[in-house]
Structure 1
Amino acid sequence: MTENEVRERAYAMPLTSPAFPLGPYRFYHREYLIITYRTDPDKLRALVPEPLQVDEPLVKFEFIRMADSTGFGDYTESGQVIPVSFQGRKGGYTHCMFLDDHPPIAGGRELWGFPKKLAKPTLRADVDTMLGTLDYGSVRIATGTMGYKHKVADAEKVKASMLTPTWLIKIIPHVDGTARICELVEYYLEDVDLHGAWTGPASLTLASHALAPVAELPVLEIVSASHIIADLTLGMGKVVHDYLA
């Protein structure tokens, strides 16, 4: 293989059989259970990197079922997103994510900088309840429940919230172990087609784990919950701050 052939073919590893295909990445009937809760403000601010700003001590714990996605396949994801602001714009900071499928782990980390680790999340309807769980290895570290479709949510507000920016810290190490890339990345969801959104009573239980410390942001009060089904495209990111510059 010539150097020109390497340059033409290279976009992800392994060179001759990349872990994920080129985008765009479209998701059909993507299903969310999002539980927003109030947490310890000092612990929250200690985890959110500048120049992002925390306006309220809130966390969104998400369980997401992606049964039909282009390129990434059939998988489930869970994690914590923190409402923040950046240069006067409100959005979310993705603090941690856990999922059960290799291509979106590799693609998410390498392309955008999603903080993804391998785990076993689930999301399903359990009789009259939306039930989300997250196991890290054999340990149950999160259980979220919400009354199944108790009340229709405001579709315009839900869609508007899905169109706000999200920020990530993308870290790629050098061969000597130091950071070669350390950037604040911004991305958006695009072409959102909302099929339905509901609210209801909710609960969230988190358990301590050394390597999946979701409980370091404790649940002090449940603020709201939503169950959402939508088609959408995961837009590519852009760098808005370089920590190594």
Structure 2
Amino acid sequence: MKKPYEVQNFWTVPIQAPLVDASCFPPFSCENCKTLTAYFRANPEIIKKYLVPPPFEYVSDIVYAYVSDFTNADPNDGYNQGFYDSGLVIPVKYKGREGVHVLYEYENHDYAIAAGRELWGYPKKYAEASTKEEDGKVIGIVHKNGKDIIRLEMDASKELTRPIAKPALFPHFQIKVDPKPDGPGIDSKKILSRDSSMDFVTKSYVEREIKVELQGIPLNRLDEFQPLEILGGTYTVGDFHCTMENGWAKVEEVLI
């Protein structure tokens, strides 16, 4: 790691005052990463609204909200404070391939926000988040602008009557856009895909009943995705690895 007085010369924005440096990019890992996820049906017309303009196509009305605890991230990888990751994800199809598009995403540290936004076009914004296990329940909360915009509560005692019907969870298809510096408009626009799921080592996994509460704020209209039917929740604990082989994105298409 560079000392404070050393001159920076890296490829983030800006060069001399980056929020992240090379240590925050692949490879990095987090042992015992915990993720609480709720799968539910949302209004298909709302999902389709967010798929305009193309290139993504509508697949299903099953979406998911999640809260992930990365506070145990390896400090040697640059994440010396750890972080929370959370969001809302919708299924999409791109050129015949099914995957998902991260529509809303939140982190509680600026370096985690910058890495995902600058490199891969993830829609990361700042929000406080937490997960806790108490009284046989697992609770995940995302708090922004005075509201709990995501609140998930899984009851470990309430088993599901059938397995959760999940959409394809990978790859992530994201649109990376860079604005023009000299006036309104887009300087570059690329379709990226990313899938590091093959490097995740699952230690425990359960499916149970779950409650979902979503609230909207300006530019974060999670309230439009109110559950029409909650299919169930999952609680996963495992070792997350973002490797050099699978952690980087692939450029699928250059639109501009």
Fold shared, TM-score > 0.5 on shorter chain? yes
CA contact (8 A) 2:214 2:225 kept: no
SS at structure 1 position matched to 2:129: strand
Residue 239 in 1 paired to residue 251 in 2?
yes
1:181 is aligned with what amino acid? Answer: S
Unaligned runs of 5+ residues in structure 1 are: 1-5
> Shift in Å at residue 150 of structure 1?
5.9
Q: Which amino acid aligns with 1:199?
A: E
The offset of 1:17, in angstroms, is 4.5
2:37 alignment partner in structure 1: 34
Q: Could you tell me how far 1:139 is from its partner in structure 2?
A: 1.6
1:171 aligns with 2:183: no
CA deviation string 1:66-88 (max 9, x = no partner): 01223234111211111222233
Q: Pick from 74, 80, 92: which aligns with 2:88? A: 80
Of 149, 174, 183 in structure 1, the residue corresponding to residue 190 of structure 2 is: 183
What is the CA-CA distance between 1:201 and the residue it aligns to? 0.7
Pairing 1:115-130 to 2, within 5 Å after superposition: 115-130=123-138
Tell me if structure 1 keeps the 8 A contact 2:159–2:209.
no
2:35–2:236: 8 Å Cα contact kept in structure 1? yes
Q: Is the 8 A contact 1:207 1:214 kept in 2?
A: yes
1:222 partner SS: strand
- Cα deviation for residue 220 of structure 1 reads 0.8
Distance in 2, Cα, partners of 1:60 & 1:109? 21
Query: 1: CA distance between counterparts of 2:211 and 2:222?
Result: 15
The reply to whether residue 139 of structure 1 matches residue 147 of structure 2 is yes
- Alpha-carbon distance in 2 for matches of 1:30, 1:90: 26
Corresponding position of 2:66: 62
Measured on the aligned residues, the alpha-carbon RMSD in Å equals 2.4
2:11 corresponds in structure 1 to 11
Post-superposition Cα deviations, 1:84-103, rounded to whole Å, max 9, x if no partner, equal: 22233222111010111011
Identity %: 22
Give distance in 2, aligned partners of 1:137 and 1:29. 30
Number of residue equivalences = 232
Q: Map Cα deviations across residues 78-136 of structure 1 (whole Å, 9 max, x no partner).
A: 11111222233222111010111011101110011110011112122132111011111
Distance 1:26 1:54 in 2: 33
Asked if residue 217 in structure 1 is aligned to residue 220 in structure 2, the reply is no
Kindly state the Cα deviation for residue 151 of structure 1 after the two structures are TM-superposed.
Answer: 5.8
Query: Which amino acid letter does the alignment assign opposite residue 187 of structure 2?
Result: R
